[in-house]
Amino acid sequence: MSYPIERVELRHLRMRLRSPFKTSFGVEDDREALAIRVWSDGVQGWGECPVAAFPGYSYETVGTAWHVLEAFFLPAVLGRAFEGAAELRLAMDHYKGHPLARAGLELALWDIIGRATGQSLRSLLGGTRERVPVGVSIGIQSDPAALVRAAGEYLAQGYRRIKVKIMPGRDLDDVRAVRQAFPEVALQVDANSAYTLDDAPRLRALDGLALLLIEQPLAEDDLIDHARLQAELRTPLCLDESILSARHARQALDLHACGIINIKPARVGGLSEAVAVHDLCRERGTAVWCGGMLETGIGRAANLALASLPGFTLPGDISASDRYYARDIAAPTFRLNPDSTIDVPTGPGLGVEVDLTELERVTVRKAEFVAG
């Protein structure tokens, strides 16, 4: 079976977040992202590029993703037919970088294959679980007391794993306050690259707070200093931004730069590379979990399918839809079960339907592309 790429629609979306999300790289009031719709032989597939308005998490933005898709990735695939994700990736292989942009296009093809064959994304990827454990990621608050209040509200909603964003000056006091208020909670922190090796003494103080992991304390391109830092800490380091491929994952593990890896399908350029990182880590006995990029229902459905693979042994940053959005663009939305899990969709492809009226309401720019 081969799937023709006949027509592609790009949409720049702007969705108001229920509350601003502050990290060490900045604050977002709105989620900006690209939605991709692909037409193939009577079937439509959806993808999402979880880019942002500014290059804070990574160098990619709505503008760069739109540009590389329009100028390079779409011309490379339009008018051609693909048997699967591996072949689609090959068509873009001579272009460098821009994983979030290419991941959105690959996701649309996975959705098409699932819908055309009546298979869920979970079964296409080899997922085994019907529901997956999840946690919540809390942005930097005004002060430690506000953070404790926010954590308490999420715990009351049923989340059993809390991740706290940290940055220099907003770390020890914040995390200590949460640990004191909730002595037993599964707790981890994420610095989004805000520290250097000179901060090792400060980071070592986190060692006493019984954290599950410390996520990406140092720069994205700094595996060697992560290895140096890991040697000084008991708490496992977890890499996020540093891992853009299975090759990076292997090198990070060889260097002992981390003990745990956060897998985001968009960050590694698509679901097929995400499965490759999962398989490598499973072989090596390294725990992985599924990260989050404040996805809409499209990307959230994909993350759930991925997190149903057997190596995802730690709770994912895949919160319920209402953690971020008052209204989502896809239905059904995802709800938290009382045991801090979310059900993995079972319908064909992504297993969600895009609400075209709501999608139109949050679209700030759109364009269509055909072969030619």
Positions annotated as catalytic residues are: 165, 264
Residue 213: CB atoms within 10 A of its CB come to 21
- Alpha-carbon gap, residue 251 to 88, rounded angstroms: 26
Q: Is 135 in the site for ligand NPQ (CB under 6 A)?
A: no
Q: Is 159 in the site for ligand NPQ (CB under 6 A)?
A: no
The strand pair at 7-23 and 26-40 is best described as antiparallel
Both tokens assigned to 194: 């805000």
Q: CB-hemisphere CA count at 13 Å for 190?
A: 24
Least CB distance from residue 264 to ligand NPQ, whole Å? Answer: 7
What's the chain's length in residues? 372
Least CB distance from residue 192 to ligand NPQ, whole Å? Answer: 5
Q: Is 104 in the site for ligand NPQ (CB under 6 A)?
A: no
Rg, Å, the chain Cα set: 20
> Contact at 8 Å (CB) between 263 and 232?
no
Any residues with CB less than 8 A from the CB of 300 and at least 6 apart, and which?
292, 318, 321, 334
Least CB distance from residue 342 to ligand NPQ, whole Å? Answer: 14
CA angle centred on 52, ends 92 and 355, rounded to 5° = 85
Binding segment for ligand NPQ (CB under 6 A), chosen from 50-58, 102-110, 296-304, 350-358, is 50-58
The residue count for binding Mg ion (CB under 5 A) is: 3
For residue 218, CA distances in Å to 200, 223, 257 come to 10, 9, 11
Any residues with CB less than 8 A from the CB of 21 and at least 6 apart, and which?
27, 28, 139, 294, 324
Residue 133: CB atoms within 10 A of its CB come to 21
| Binding to Mg ion in span 226-285, by CB under 5 A | 240
Q: At 361, is the secondary structure helix, strand, or coil?
A: helix
Residue 200: CB atoms within 10 A of its CB come to 17
Q: Is 141 in the site for ligand NPQ (CB under 6 A)?
A: no
Least CB distance from residue 245 to Mg ion, whole Å? Answer: 17
Query: Which one of ligand NPQ, Mg ion, none interacts with residue 273, CB within 5 to 8 A by kind?
Result: none
Q: Is 24 in the site for ligand NPQ (CB under 6 A)?
A: no
Q: Quick one: which of 8, 10, 15, 28 contacts ligand NPQ (CB under 6 A)?
A: 28
Q: Quick one: which of 4, 47, 50, 265 contacts ligand NPQ (CB under 6 A)?
A: 50
Q: Which of 163, 187, 157, 185 is nearest to 338 (CA)?
A: 157
Q: Binding string, 258-297, against ligand NPQ, x = CB under 6 A?
A: ---------------------------------xxxx---
CB of 190 or CB of 273, closer to Mg ion: 190
Q: Quick one: which of 240, 273, 295, 328 contacts ligand NPQ (CB under 6 A)?
A: 240
CB of 43 or CB of 271, closer to ligand NPQ: 271
Q: Quick one: which of 21, 46, 159, 289 contacts ligand NPQ (CB under 6 A)?
A: 21
Contacts with Mg ion by CB under 5 A lie at 190, 215, 240
Positions that interact with ligand NPQ (CB under 6 A): 21, 23, 28, 50, 52, 57, 137, 190, 192, 240, 291-294, 317
